[in-house]
């Protein structure tokens, strides 16, 4: 249960002044629909109204506050024309301009001959100063109501500064003093204000410098967010580790049977990583290890060898894939190898229903299946293992940390967890996504891989590229054509892909297929299967498609508007080719007017195929948020922390989380209540629930 002290913060935005049914949707779009979302909505600028010049001294574009006398009104001379009010001081005249104004209101607010304080941005019109829609019109005796400094917030269409400011002020007034959750030494060393003071300060910048990421207030807020993230991950990991582990020590008979049947040897990196996995398995505490390695670096065989070990030690293994088509693909490759060792393997996906499903479930519960491969369907309540000992999660970081462990939770006696990812992620980001998981990296590629010939080509030369594709198809090649990622809507993505599809189909006929995110998964799978079978030569796709699919015969990857993609994404797409015997090409088509940064980013792709290097460079060039492309990546969204500016805090947070768990693993000690508040404040409550069920 959420601590009561936080209730007002998780109330609906409509509880705030000035927010009602009419503009609720706008606030939802801007920040999210709750009071707390407004607290996290930090200003990105400020207005300084302290300048008090005379009319003769004002400069274009400046925000000023003037003390002026109303000289006379000039109502509109034509329909819908502006209403003007001419103001003066002893140095000259200045015009106030109002569009769609109500005359009676203006006459009341600005009576002729009266003095008013006017604050707003100065414009020059035909060399005469004017202010259109002043921000403030105040009687001299009410000067106090005119703020000297005001924060400027990011806005959304239809919502102005005033209502946002008012709502944020309302949210701040609801923010309670919260108990200190952080280590007092760290708080002192960093000079952190209390949470509440930090919030107030972050929303009341006094200078440009107060808007920077490195102020004590912003660092404090960022630290809290990072600590919540790290603490949640640490709790989960602690639980996964300590609660129910067991030692799996196979003799290695099945492993040898599988290896002996392979036409190749493991690489040194594979041998090293396998040894790391085996050591974890032998250890009595539960394993939680991440294996990172490029597409094609040979992770799958390691997963199989580890699963075989678990089976030999008397248990069962499960392999969780993110999509149906990937589950099938893994099943096919794994099964051909597993058969050689006599392993009994099955697949379970959402599409397997009725009697077939019932049959699998009963064999699984009876221990007649050694390895079960599947999708989310494996997580369903009635999927019951006789003795699940080992879980592999193949993800392109699509599973959340809790899902990863949900499968292991099905084990009666505890299961080891191996997570595999082909997305190269810089170390700092690995920490935020995977927390303190042990990490193994496969850097080396299996021998015999031919480098992919990567070219960066201007979109000006599209006709030549298309000619080349037509020739390549004539020579029997298979080609992926990835269409531009359009930021606006999925629909425009689709339109671009459809146009290209139609164009290529006119040239190549029925050999061209199209797959996109709006298709039903069965339709998608059918097109992918046709491409895999060689019935299609060209596969036009939006990036929302499943790119994990293996088509060894595909040797050309064309990516339109490559400058719009993250490098890590390009790297993954490129990894779809170069998997077979033929030599492969990747054409990165860039906008003719792509800027300098975009070009140098694309050149990195030409220079290296090392995914980790590419990821580090991408992070350096673009920053963390953009790099992973937010939601789909499974990257936790940080609202206050900036992973670059606050990378030192990330490490402190990890250390503190570790220390908390080491001292007080069940969160029962003196700081525990405060830490719980922190977890709920940042909505890491799933970790708290986890704590309870344990």
Pairing state between β 538-541 and 512-515: parallel
Stretch that binds Mg ion, among 212-220, 250-258, 294-302, 492-500 (CB under 5 A): 294-302
Neighbour-count burial of 471, counting CB atoms closer than 10 A to its CB (0-12 exposed, 13-18 middle, 19+ buried)? exposed
- HEC string of 484-502 equals CCCCCCHHHHHHHHHHHHH
DSSP per-residue letters across 80-103: TPPEEEEEEETTEEEEEEESS--H
Name which position in 85, 202, 240, 301 contacts ligand ADP (CB under 6 A).
Answer: 301
Interface region with ligand ADP, contact rule CB under 6 A, candidates 128-136, 152-160, 299-307, 625-633: 299-307
**CA-based nearest residue to 304, from 403, 229, 373:** 373
Question: Which segment (242-250, 267-275, 281-289, 297-305) binds Mg ion by CB under 5 A?
Answer: 297-305
Applying CB under 6 A, among 43, 193, 293, 484 the residue interacting with ligand ADP is: 293
Q: Is 604 helix (H, G, I), strand (E, B) or coil?
A: helix
Q: Does residue 403 interact with ligand ADP by CB under 6 A?
A: no
Q: Residue 446, interface with ligand ADP (CB under 6 A)?
A: yes
- Per DSSP, 565 falls in state S
Residues 274, 266 contacting (CB under 8 angstroms): yes
**Residue with Cβ nearer Mg ion (289 or 684):** 289
CB of 546 to ligand ADP, least distance (A): 14
Site for ligand ADP (CB under 6 A): which residue of 116, 255, 299, 654?
299
Helix pair 216-242, 685-693: axis angle to 10 deg: 30
Select the span of 221-229, 264-272, 351-359, 560-568 touching ligand ADP (CB under 6 A). 264-272
Q: How far is the CB of 452 from Mg ion (least distance, A)?
A: 17
What residue 424 binds from ligand ADP, Mg ion, none (CB within 5 to 8 A, per partner kind)?
A: none
Euclidean distance between CA atoms 546 and 543, whole angstroms: 8
**Which of 182, 270, 300, 633 lies at the binding interface for Mg ion (CB under 5 A)?**
300
Mask for 410-439, x = binds ligand ADP (CB under 6 A): ------------x-----------------
DSSP 368-437: --SEEEESGGGGSTT---SSEEEEEEEESS-S-HHHHHHHHTT-SS--EEEEEE-S---HHHHHHHHTT-
For Mg ion, the closer of residues 300 and 537 by Cβ is 300
Give residues 309-368 in contact with ligand ADP (rule: CB under 6 A). Answer: none
Of 174 and 266, which CB lies nearer to ligand ADP in the complex structure? 266
Residue 422 interface partner, choices Mg ion, ligand ADP, none, CB cut-off 5-8 Å depending on type: ligand ADP
Q: Which of 65, 215, 230, 297 binds ligand ADP (CB under 6 A)?
A: 297
Which residue reads 């099938």 in tokens? 328
Residue 585's φ and ψ, nearest 5 degrees, are -130, 145
Q: Of the listed pieces 65-73, 150-158, 291-299, 470-478, which binds ligand ADP according to CB under 6 A?
A: 291-299
What does 296 bind: Mg ion, ligand ADP, none (CB cut-off 5 to 8 Å by kind)?
ligand ADP
Partner from Mg ion, ligand ADP, none contacting 105, C-beta within 5 to 8 A by type: none
Give Rg (Cα) of the chain: 31
**Packed helices 427-434 and 216-242: angle between N→C axes, nearest 10 degrees:** 60
298 binds, among ligand ADP, Mg ion, none (CB under 5 to 8 A by kind): ligand ADP
Site size for ligand ADP (CB under 6 A): 15
Q: What is the DSSP letter of 644?
A: T
CB of 399 to Mg ion, least distance (A): 16
Q: What are phi and psi of 279, to 5 degrees?
A: -65, -40
Is residue 295 involved in binding ligand ADP (CB under 6 A)? yes
Nearer to ligand ADP, 273 or 286 (CB): 273
| Torsion sign, CA atoms 359, 341, 286, 293 | negative
Q: From CA 358, how far away is CA 547, in angstroms rounded? A: 31
Residue with Cβ nearer Mg ion (222 or 392)? 392
Rounded distance between C-alpha atoms, residue 267 and residue 271, angstroms = 6
| The entry of Mg ion, ligand ADP, none that residue 677 binds, CB within 5 to 8 Å by partner kind | none
* Binding span for ligand ADP by CB under 6 A among 164-172, 297-305, 600-608, 683-691: 297-305
552 neighbors 270 (Cβ within 8 angstroms)? no
Write b or e for each residue in 563-577: b if 16 or more Cβ atoms lie within 10 A of its Cβ, otherwise e: bbbbbbbbbbbbbbb
Cα(471)–Cα(477) distance, integer angstroms: 9
Rounded Cα–Cα distance for residues 389 and 414 (Å): 6
Binding region for ligand ADP (CB under 6 A) out of 11-19, 168-176, 295-303, 382-390: 295-303
Q: Which is nearer to Mg ion, 326 or 360 (CB)?
A: 326
Q: By CB under 6 A, which span of 212-220, 294-302, 424-432, 517-525 interacts with ligand ADP?
A: 294-302
* Closest CB to ligand ADP among residues 39, 326: 326
Unique residue bearing structure tokens 């491409």: 531
- Site residues for Mg ion per CB under 5 A: 300
Which residues in this chain contact ligand ADP in the complex, by CB under 6 A?
264, 266-267, 270, 293, 295-301, 422, 446-447
């Amino acid at each position: 249960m959420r601590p009561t002290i936080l209730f007002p913060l998780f109330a609906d935005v409509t509880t705030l002044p000035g927010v009602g049914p009419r503009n609720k949707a706008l606030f939802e779009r801007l920040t999210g629909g709750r009071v707390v979302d407004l607290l996290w909505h930090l200003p990105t600028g400020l207005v300084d109204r302290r300048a008090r010049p005379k009319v003769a001294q004002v400069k274009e574009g400046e925000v000023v506050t003037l003390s002026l006398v109303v000289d006379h009104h000039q109502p509109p001379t034509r329909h819908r024309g502006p209403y003007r009010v001419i103001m003066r001081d002893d140095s000259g005249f200045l015009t106030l301009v109002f569009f769609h104004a109500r005359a009676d209101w203006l006459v009341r607010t600005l009576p002729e001959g009266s003095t008013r304080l006017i604050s707003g941005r100065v414009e020059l019109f035909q060399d005469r100063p004017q202010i259109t829609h002043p921000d403030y019109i105040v009687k001299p005796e009410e000067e106090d109501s005119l703020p000297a400094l005001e924060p400027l917030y990011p806005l959304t269409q239809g919502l102005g500064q005033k209502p946002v400011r008012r709502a944020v002020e309302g949210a701040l007034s609801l923010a309670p003093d919260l108990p200190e959750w952080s280590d007092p030494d760290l708080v002192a060393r960093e000079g952190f204000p209390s949470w509440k003071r930090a919030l107030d300060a972050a929303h009341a910048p006094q200078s440009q410098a107060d808007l920077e990421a490195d102020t004590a207030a912003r660092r404090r807020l960022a630290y809290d967010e990072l600590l919540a993230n790290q603490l949640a991950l640490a709790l989960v990991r602690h639980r996964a580790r300590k609660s129910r582990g067991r030692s799996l020590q196979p003799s290695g008979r099945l492993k040898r049977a599988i290896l002996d049947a392979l036409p190749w040897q493991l690489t040194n990196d594979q041998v090293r990583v396998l040894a790391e996995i085996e050591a974890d398995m032998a250890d009595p505490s539960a394993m939680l290890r991440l294996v990172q390695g490029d597409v094609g670096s040979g992770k799958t065989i390691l997963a199989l060898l580890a699963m075989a070990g678990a089976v030999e030690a008397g248990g069962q293994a499960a392999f969780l894939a993110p999509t149906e088509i990937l589950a099938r693909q893994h099943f096919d490759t794994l099964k051909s190898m597993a058969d050689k060792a006599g392993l009994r393997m099955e697949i379970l996906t959402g599409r397997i229903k009725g009697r077939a499903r019932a049959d699998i479930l009963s064999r699984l519960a009876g221990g007649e299946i050694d390895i079960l491969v599947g999708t989310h369907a494996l997580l369903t309540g009635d999927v019951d293992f006789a003795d699940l000992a080992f879980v592999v999660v193949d993800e392109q970081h699509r599973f959340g940390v809790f899902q990863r462990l949900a499968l292991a939770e099905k084990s009666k006696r505890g299961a080891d967890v191996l997570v595999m990812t082909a997305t190269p992620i810089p170390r700092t980001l690995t920490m935020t996504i995977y927390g303190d998981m042990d990490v193994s990296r496969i850097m080396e590629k299996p021998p015999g891989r031919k480098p992919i010939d990567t070219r960066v080509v201007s979109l000006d030369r599209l006709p030549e590229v298309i000619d080349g594709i037509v020739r390549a198809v004539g020579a029997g090649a298979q080609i992926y054509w990835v269409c531009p990622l359009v930021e606006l809507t999925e629909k425009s993505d689709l339109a671009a892909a459809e146009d290209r599809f139609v164009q290529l189909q006119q040239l190549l006929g029925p050999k061209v297929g199209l797959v996109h995110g709006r298709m039903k998964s069965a339709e998608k799978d059918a097109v992918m299967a046709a491409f895999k079978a060689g019935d299609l030569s060209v596969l036009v796709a939006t990036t929302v498609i499943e790119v994990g699919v293996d088509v060894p015969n595909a040797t050309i990857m064309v990516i339109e508007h490559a400058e719009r993609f993250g490098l890590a994404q390009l790297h993954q797409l490129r990894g779809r080719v170069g998997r077979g015997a033929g030599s492969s090409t990747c054409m990165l088509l860039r906008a003719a007017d792509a800027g300098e940064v975009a070009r140098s980013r694309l050149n990195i792709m030409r220079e290296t195929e090392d995914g980790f290097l590419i990821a580090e460079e991408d992070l350096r060039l673009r920053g963390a948020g953009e790099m992973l492309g937010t939601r789909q990546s499974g990257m936790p969204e940080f609202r206050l922390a900036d992973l670059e500016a606050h990378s030192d805090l990330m490490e402190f947070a990890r250390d503190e989380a570790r220390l908390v768990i080491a001292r007080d693993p069940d969160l029962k000690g003196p700081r525990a209540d405060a830490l719980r508040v922190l977890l709920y404040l940042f909505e890491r409550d799933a970790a708290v629930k986890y704590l309870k069920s344990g």
